[in-house]
Structure 1
Amino acid sequence: MKSKLIILLSCFFIGLSYGQIEKIEPPFWWSDMNHNQLQLLCYGKEISKYNVQIEGVTISDVTKTENPNYLFVTMDTKGIKPGNISINFKENDKVIFSQPYEFRSRRENSSQRKGFDSSDVIYLIMPDRFANGDPNNDSHPETVEKADRSNPGGRHGGDIQGVIDHLDYLKNLGATALWSTPLLEDNEPVYSYHTYAQSDLYKIDPRYGTNEDYKRLATEMHKLDMKLIMDYVTNHWGSKHWMIRDLPAKDWIHQWPEGFRRSNYRMTTQFDTNASKVDAKGCMDGWFDTTMPDMNQSNPLLLNYIIQNAIWWIEYADLDGFRVDTYSYNDKQGIAQWTKAIMDEYPNFNIVGEVWMHDQAQMSYWQKDSKIGAIDNFNSNLPSVMDFTLHDALMVVFNEDEGAWDKGMIKVYENFTNDFLYPDIHNILVFPGNHDTNRINEIYQGDIDKYKMAMTLIFTTRGIPQIYYGDELGMLGNRDKKGDGDIRRDFPGGWKGDKQNAFLSSKTKGGRTNDQEAFHSFTKKVLNWRKNTPVIHSGKLLQFIPFDNVYVYFRYNQEKSVMIVINNNTKEQKIDIARFKEGLKDFKIGTDIITDSNIDVTEDFTIKSKTSMILELK
């Protein structure tokens, strides 16, 4: 990518007379951006026959594609002040029509915005299933699929207003950041609620609200010192996207002779030195699904389009981070350029990529400055990846009661022995589950003791914790037996008329049940403690080989040390203080923040079966 950002502007009008413009993308831009090249993508019937002139602005390049309905014009925006400019479309030196285009002022220090990091706890929601704040937008005349709450795979009506209405709940729980699955328009006729098949990259789905509503969500979160993370999709668009219906060029998407070819999903082909070219192409160029055309990030015009779209949303909505869907399915050189362009504009921003693999070396390949990636001279520029190997362990480990050579807590220990592979181990997302996995409480049959052990680990180990909505209530869900809808159930109380409102305490009539309160109170207590404990955010990790299915580790820095003990055994276990002297040093007392009890750590102590301790050492 060149050092100057290329901005794509699309002027879109279908079936209209010459001289009319229906849509501009982006709809406006900002002056004083760090990169000052702006590329206008104009769309309209045979618009490429026109010459373009912009008074007072230098046009450096004009590009036409095989489709005469597109015209790309590059101009220099250096020195442009906030306000409107006029874009003139000419034929035979005569202006046929003009289009005003607005430049806005940036927020102060916008480029220095600070993204999410290991001091945060991310709360993941599926907005359609979280809370319905505005029943009037459950269905919308501009979109095909209508609300049907009785259908597990249909739209249920959750929206942005519902999230705003319950920000205090998230704040009180101890969450500091919100990751919502995509909110942009998805006009597929079925299963549009997941919103990963987007039909308009500049428009919030009207069943969720408006662009202004999304911007307001960020504003309200920032008032509460919380951060907003956008789920961004680079690998594919929806089949109903207006540009898919009239492609700028054949190579805008990956085409196959048979029309559709599904990805082989073998991401290892992206770096396997022994991989055949046909298999590598089958992964990268294959479609994720029939309704999701696979975008070609090696096309420079498409790449510029998604770069500018991403930056537009950061600037417009005042975002604090991206989670990028199916990151490792993209053209890897193209997605690396996309990531670099964003991080060059916002050097303190953060982006976490979904790299769903099951080997630490393979996942670490995708983190910025990876030693593994350097083997084939690849640098993704991606600050953060998701710790799927830790998730793999969590899916089984607390159901393995008796520790063995390769069972029980040793699986957790072994995960962390490979931390040396990651360039920035603190910038790793750790999670017990998400919108694509079986619920953690389903795996552990609603056993709160197992939940507490799992979440103790997630909340106190290195990295950035992420919790999936409803886990803090003990919510169940099995996608293997009942489909995706079962792991994406409605949050109780998010809809008017719900029999129960789990946003409210068990002390309130109709609020959380006693069982839900037990899950919630534990989560809230640990998260609010974590929020104010920097050693957990950035301290070093010292771990000991588990014996008898008991795992002990320390998080420490020069100022403070915390000892974590997880007894996954079915029997009470004795903690041999002498073995852990390296971490205990000269500390005398450990205050367990879970039970508020003090433990004398100068002598051996016991820990009950299937429990955990978080000991602040003094």
Structure 2
Amino acid sequence: MKLKLFLFLMLWGSLVQAQIQKTEPPFWWSGMNNPELQIMFYGKNIAQYDIVVDKSVTVTGIIKTENPNYVFVNLKTEGLPTGDYKIDFKRNGKIAFSHNYELKDRRENSALRKGFDASDVMYLIMPDRFANGDPGNDAHPSVTEKPNREYPGGRHGGDIQGIIDNLDYLNDLGVTAIWNTPMLEDNDPRYSYHTYAQSDVYRIDPRYGTNEDYKRLAAEMHKRDMKLVMDYVTNHWGAEHWMIKDLPAYDWINQFPGYENSNYRMTTQYDPNVAQRDLMYCVDGWFVKSMPDLNQRNPLVLNYLTQNAIWWIEYADLDGFRVDTYSYNDKEGIAKWTKSIMDEYPNFNIVGEVWMHDQAQISYWQKDSPIGAIQSFNSYLPSVMDFTLHNALMVIFDEELATWDKGMIKAYENFVNDFLYADIDNILVFAGNHDTGRINEIYDNDLNKYQLAITLVLTTRGIPQLYYGDEIGMRGEKDKGDGDIRRDFPGGWEGDTNNAFSSAGRDELQESYHSFTKTLLNYRKNKEVLHFGKLLQYLPEDNVYVYFRYNDKDRVMVVLNNNPEAQELDLRRYAEGLNGFKGGKEILSNRQIDLKSTLKIEGKSPMVIELN
């Protein structure tokens, strides 16, 4: 009899545990600005139960979909203290099983956290390709793809520990913020290293580490006054996502029915003459077949994404988001998502990937855009990426014979259009990223051209972003595939013969790149005039571009000579920028410069002069 009772209890216990397979968010916090919380419970036929929540909690709705394996419970958390709250699942009036849902304490001043801004320099890392700090997690039984360093498109083993191990290298370089490409679980059987086809958005991919490791990364960065930026994907998940395999509702993803690819024509989002079919194929079409497109018009989807984003900010103590494929989302849905986050964290920052080639079209997506206002649209997105400047940086330093539209005039003309942006200081400027050709490949490891490009990125308006390895001359050819522009950072793996993380391990060329970048980054770090100062630019002459950054206290003169020959500038032309100063310190060479009449600059070289 005792044995039968024991077996019955064991069986009953296993059935109870099996009823709830997922609870998301897994916990929440008291004292959030938005008092509404929606908890999703997932389990076999879980919708058949009646749900009764602790009497101290106000339930504002229980939502069931056509899939009986899901139920969504809406609660009010306003005024609730921290602790566990019992949620009973009943059948025929009797409790079948219960779940204790926890509300935690928030960090002090969590809502007022300050995001990245133009005082920062952001360093973009592909975690799988940066450093392998824990070879023990290179493979994991819960995910499919195993490491293979010989395969450019496969897992190589870089992880969170590898980033933590090299934070001092980045801090010494002058980096103040890190943007990692996504780290959430991606169980695609191949090409999972980029982690943009996510399979569980509440779990760090175990080949990078654990959720606790990710939180530890943020803590270690904050000890060094560095900021952590998460790459967040609102537009799509991966085909291996557990919810895609058992959709809560048919319209959780965009279906035609089934799969149709995006036409990638983001201009349809604001084309006043657009054919609705073309707009639909942009917004609802899938980015690729392995990435089902999420339907933000479904309020359950939008709320799920919003809460997930806030959960990660609160849990990991994040300082910002970079949002992938921002302008492929349903624009009204993504605007609501963005506003919800910024309402919760008013000093936070979010930069959206708006990969377009026209400043007006990019500007449309920034908060309070004068272009968006024409159509009464506000994205609430604080920051966008300056892809037009990137386009110029990829070609201008090979254009040595300046013409009406070639050479440094392309940089000048880019900034002419700054009037289109609502917040010009909150623009991300960059020479390259994980999707573009590497600048040192494009310019064939010409150090002079690199110096010109990076000087422009680090001294113009906006938030500079570097791509990992550019500071040591890393190369990679886009035409050979994405794996080639995402090579392993030398020294990040045990047994690497070249360790570029240390001065002793860098070869002569790597050290030349690194020394220049470090000098300029560390100068910029404490120069408010380069963060938020005004920009005054002069039309280039003889392929020499001169501009000033200035405020009430400081003034910096930047000279970029894209001409292969040395040039002598008549400084009378620059009297407005010089503002009466007769000399200055040239930062890159650490020497005093006379600015009384003329200035000589060597061919293919930059100068950064702090006027004094």
- What TM-score do the two structures reach when normalised by structure 2? 0.97
Are 1:412 and 2:406 an aligned pair? no
TM superposition shift of 1:328: 0.3
Deviations 1:92-151 (A, max 9, x none): 322111001111100000000000000000010100000000000001111100000000
Cα RMSD after superposing both structures:
1.0
Aligned to 1:184: 184
Partners of 1:358 and 1:305 in 2: CA distance: 32
Q: Structure 1: which 5+ runs fail to align?
A: 1-14
Counterpart CA distance in 2 for 1:51 and 1:239 is 32
Secondary structure of residue in 1 paired with 2:73: strand
Q: Which residue of 1 aligns with 2:9?
A: none
Q: Which residue of 1 aligns with 2:500?
A: 502
Does the CA contact (< 8 Å) of 1:18 and 1:45 recur in 2? no
Which of residues 550, 561, 572 is equivalent to 2:566?
572
1:326 matched to 2:314? The reply is no
Residue 213 of structure 1 deviates from its aligned partner by 0.2
Distance 1:93 1:41 in 2: 22
Which amino acid in the other structure matches residue 418 of structure 1?
N
1:23 Cα offset (Å): 2.3
2:237 aligns to what SS in structure 1? Answer: coil
**CA–CA distance in structure 1, aligned partners of residues 15 and 569 of structure 2:** 77
C-alpha distance in 2, partners of 1:567/1:16? 73
CA offset at residue 181 of structure 1?
0.2
Paired residues for 1:169-208 under 5 Å: 169-208=169-208
Q: Which residue in the other structure is 1:466 paired with?
A: 465
Q: Helix, strand or coil for the counterpart of 1:146?
A: coil
Matched residue, 1:605 = 599
Matched residue, 2:114: 114
SS in structure 2 of the partner of residue 372 of structure 1: helix
Q: Which residue of 2 aligns with 1:11?
A: none
Identify which range, 39-48 or 80-89, moves more after superposition. Answer: 39-48
Q: 1:28 to 1:92 in 2, by over 3 A?
A: same
Range with bigger deviation, 92-101 or 270-279: 92-101
Whole-Å Cα distance in 2 between the matches of residues 151 and 19 of structure 1?
A: 39
571 and 18 in structure 1: CA distance in 2 versus 1, 3 angstrom threshold? closer
Distance 1:65 1:538 in 2: 50
- Match for 2:370: what amino acid? K
Provide the rounded CA distance (Å) in 2 between the counterparts of 1:65 and 1:484: 40
What letter is aligned with 1:255?
A: Q
Aligned to 1:4: none
CA distance in 1, matches of 2:283, 2:599: 54
Matches within 5 A, 1:321-470: 321-470=320-469
Alignment correspondent of 2:485: 487
The Cα offsets for residues 184-228 of structure 1, whole Å up to 9 and x where unpaired, read as 000000000000000000000000000000000000000000000
Alpha-carbon deviations, 1:304-354, whole Å to 9, x = none?
000000000000000000000000000100000000000000000000000
Alignment of 1:45-56 (within 5 A): 45-55=44-54, 56=56
Unpaired segments of 5 or more residues in structure 2? 1-13
CA–CA separation in structure 2 for the residues paired with 1:269 and 1:158: 38
TM-score after normalising by structure 1: 0.96
1:529 aligns with 2:516: no
> Could you say which residue in structure 2 is the equivalent of 1:280?
279
How far off its partner does 1:20 sit? 3.0
Measure the CA separation in 2 of the matches of 1:78 and 1:167: 39
**Following the alignment from structure 2 to structure 1, what is the Cα–Cα distance between the partners of residues 41 and 162?**
37
Aligned 1:112-261 pairs, distance under 5 A = 112-257=112-257, 259-261=258-260
- The letter of the residue matching 1:187 is N
Shift of 1:22: 2.7
Corresponding residue of 1:10: none
Deviation at 1:16, TM superposition (A): 5.9
Give the distance between the partners of 2:39 and 2:517, measured in 1 at CA: 49
User: Pairwise mapping of residues 47-126 of structure 1 onto structure 2 (< 5 A)?
Assistant: 47-55=46-54, 56-126=56-126
Cα distance in structure 1, aligned partners of 2:373 and 2:326: 18
Residues of 1 paired with 2:508 and 2:487: CA distance? 20
For the residue of structure 2 that corresponds to 1:231, the secondary structure is strand
Q: Is the 8 A contact 1:185 1:201 kept in 2?
A: yes
* 2:108 alignment partner AA: E
Q: Tell me the secondary structure at the aligned position of residue 591 of structure 1.
A: strand
CA distance in 1 between counterparts of 2:27 and 2:155 reads: 31
Query: Over residues 235-256 of structure 1, what are the superposed CA-to-partner deviations in whole Å (9 max), with x where a residue is unaligned?
Result: 0001011100111111100001
Contact 1:19 1:98 in 2 (8 A): no
Report the CA distance between 1:19 and its aligned residue: 6.4
| Aligned-partner SS, 1:102 | strand
Number of residue-to-residue matches in the alignment: 598
Worse-matched range after superposition: 49-58 or 361-370: 49-58
- Structure 2 residue identity aligned to 1:265: Y
* Amino acid in the other structure paired with 2:239: S
Contact 2:321 2:350 in 1 (8 A): yes
CA distance in 2, matches of 1:598, 1:356: 41
- Paired residue type of 1:313: W
Q: How much does 1:18 deviate?
A: 7.8
CA distance in 1: counterparts of 2:500 and 2:575, whole angstroms? 44
CA distance in 2, matches of 1:595, 1:404: 30
In 1, Cα distance between equivalents of 2:566 and 2:76: 70
- CA drift of 1:58 comes to 1.5
The CA distance in 2 between the partners of 1:172 and 1:124, in whole Å, is 16
Moved more, 105-114 or 27-36: 27-36
Return the alpha-carbon distance in structure 1 between the equivalents of residues 204 and 91 of structure 2: 36
CA distance in 1, matches of 2:77, 2:527: 45
Partner SS, residue 27 of structure 1 = coil
Instruction: Determine the C-alpha separation between the residues in 2 that align with 1:281 and 1:338.
Output: 20
Q: How does 1:531-570 map to 2 (within 5 A)?
A: 531-570=525-564
Cα-to-partner distance string for 1:522-556 (whole Å, 9 max, x where unaligned): 00000000001100000000000001100000000
